[in-house]
Amino acid sequence: MADIKVVAIVVGVALLSITILSLIISSAGRLNTDEIALHYNAITKHLGREVKSSGLVFGSPGMTLIIFPSVFTSMQWKDISCLNRDGVSISLDVTLQFQADPKYLHDVVVQFEDFDGYKKILHATGEAAIHDTCAHFNTTAFQSMRGYFQVKLLKEMKDTLSPFYTILRDLQVNNVRRPSDFEMAVKDKEAAKENIKIAENERPKFLTQARTEYQKALKQAQIIDERADTDSNIIRNQADAEAQAVRARYSTETDTYIELKRKMRLDVEALLTYMAIQTIGASKHDVYINLKSPAQIKYEL
């Protein structure tokens, strides 16, 4: 009988030890150095207000830990599309570092239950802030004012997420992409600007070349004109000299025949007969001709 009592006591002690150990295990937890948490008793439905940090954490039986990061965590919006002020769809990537304010961790858990629910609400609200900020910038501003866009978006994020007790920093905007048709139009426009710039830079050179060619043409025309004047003067002088020589020869012959006619007292018909005889006699070849006598002004053969 005594043995039975001893066994019962041993079993009772063992069960009590196991129960106590189970309660201790269930009421204890461990937090890493980058975690904070609040106690939550699933049995009593009580949420603690004291923020627990890294290390072993003990509480009442049925306690669980609602854990949040104690450091900044990245949240990303990949390939998000928004309409800018011009109505053009812009795609971009946004990365944001955020952290739940430990001072208001109790309020955060009451509203969002846990970190996953908290992050999901922040992501949806942040996406709305991105759309609102995009609407303030035109297409070219996304390229020329990238830094200001990031500052503006971070401010918009802070204003939008402030009701959720969120600490923000280090917002980055990357890989801004415009529609392919718009990009092609921009490239064509830039190429046209570059071609215009090249044409404007080359214009003085082409004008100089044109002026040089024009001056060469004027000089060549002047040379041709002067050569033509010289050639015409030469031809005119030669013609005048030949005409003068012909006039002088005929004038001399006329004077000779007048003097001959006077000295020999010939009339016109006799002079013509004399001239005909002289002409025939001066010929180097035999001349056979039947002339009527006396000589006439006109002969009919």
* Site of tokens 């050569």: 227
Q: Is the pLDDT of residue 127 over 90?
A: yes
Tell me the CA distances in angstroms from 92 to 125, 131, 158, 224, one per residue in order.
17, 11, 19, 72
Dihedral angle at the C-alpha atoms of 133, 135, 136, 137, nearest 10 degrees?
100
pLDDT confidence bin for 226, thresholds 50/70/90: confident
Give the model's confidence band at 249: pLDDT under 50 very low, under 70 low, under 90 confident, else very high.
confident
pLDDT in the model for residue 161: 93
| CA distance linking residue 60 with residue 40, whole number of Å | 9
Q: Which residues pair with 97 in a beta bridge?
A: 74, 169
Residue 21 has pLDDT above 70, yes or no: no
pLDDT band at 20 (very low <50, low <70, confident <90, very high): very low
pTM above 0.75, yes or no: no
Q: What is the pLDDT at residue 133?
A: 93
Residue 80 binned pLDDT confidence (cut-offs 50, 70, 90): very high
The segment with the largest mean pLDDT, out of 51-55, 127-131, 144-148, is: 127-131
Q: What is the mean pLDDT of residues 226-238?
A: 82
Q: Is 112 helix (H, G, I), strand (E, B) or coil?
A: helix
